[in-house]
Amino acid sequence: MSPHDPIALGLSLPLWSVVPFAGLLLSIALFPLFAPSIWVRHYAKVCLAFGIPVAGYFLLSAPRELLHTTLEYASFLVLLASLFTISGGILLRGSLRGSAGVNCSILGVGAVIANVFGTTGASMLLIRPLLRANANRHRKTHVVVFFIFVVANIGGALTPIGDPPLFLGYLRGVPFFWTLRAMGLLWAVACALVIGVFYMVDRRAFALDAAAEATESWASMLSSALGHPSPSAAEARVPLSIEGKINLPLLGVVIGAVFLPTPWRELAMAAAAAVSVWKTPAKVREENQFTWYPIEEVAILFAGIFATMIPALLILKARGAELGVVTPAHFFWTTGALSSFLDNAPTYLTFFSLAQGVGGTQTVAGVSAPLLQAIGAGAVFMGANSYIGNAPNFMVKAIAEEAGVRMPSFFGYMAWSCGILLPIYVLLTLIFF
Please state the rounded mean pLDDT for residues 54-60.
Answer: 94
CB distance 73 to 302 below 8 Å:
yes
Q: What is the pLDDT of residues 154-177, one digit of tens each?
A: 999 998 888 888 887 887 788 988
pLDDT of 1 reads: 53
> Cα(297)–Cα(102) distance, rounded to whole angstroms?
30
pLDDT of 234 reads: 43
pLDDT of 117 reads: 82
Confidence grade of residue 312 (pLDDT, cut at 50, 70, 90): confident
More confident residue, 319 or 327: 327
Q: What is the pLDDT of residues 207-254, one digit of tens each?
A: 876 655 555 555 455 555 555 544 444 445 667 788 889 999 998 898
45-49, 77-81, 95-99: range with lowest mean pLDDT = 95-99
Q: What is the pLDDT of residues 175-207, one digit of tens each?
A: 988 999 999 999 999 999 999 999 999 998 878
pLDDT of 236 reads: 54
> Taking the CA atoms of the chain, what radius of gyration do you get in angstroms?
22
Total Cβ atoms within 10 A of residue 141: 16
User: What is the SS3 assignment for 277-345?
Assistant: HHHCCHHHHHHCCCCCHHHHHHHHHHHHHHHHCHHHHHHHHHHHHHHCCCCHHHHHHHHHHHHCCCCHH
Task: State yes or no: pLDDT of 339 exceeds 70.
Answer: yes
How many angstroms separate the Cα of 214 from the Cα of each of 201, 209, 218? 20, 9, 7
pLDDT of 358 reads: 72
> Cα(266)–Cα(259) distance, rounded to whole angstroms?
11
More confident residue, 53 or 217: 53
Mean of per-residue pLDDT scores for the chain? 86
Total Cβ atoms within 10 A of residue 432: 18
Confidence grade of residue 88 (pLDDT, cut at 50, 70, 90): confident
Element (H, E) at 51: helix 36-61
CB distance 380 to 162 below 8 Å:
yes
pLDDT of 425 reads: 97
Q: How does 303-335 read in b/e, with b if 16+ C-beta sit within 10 Å?
A: bbbbbbbbbbbbbbbbebeeeebeebbbbbbbb
Q: What percent of the chain has pLDDT over 70?
A: 91
CB distance 362 to 351 below 8 Å:
no
More confident residue, 399 or 4: 399
Task: State yes or no: pLDDT of 150 exceeds 90.
Answer: yes
Task: State yes or no: pLDDT of 45 exceeds 60.
Answer: yes
26-40, 90-104, 207-221, 274-288: range with lowest mean pLDDT = 207-221
> Cα(95)–Cα(309) distance, rounded to whole angstroms?
44
In degrees and rounded to multiples of 5, residue 91 shows phi and psi of -110, 115
Please state the rounded mean pLDDT for residues 334-360.
Answer: 80
> Cα(141)–Cα(112) distance, rounded to whole angstroms?
23
Q: What is the pLDDT of residues 274-309, one digit of tens each?
A: 999 999 999 998 888 788 888 898 899 889 988 998
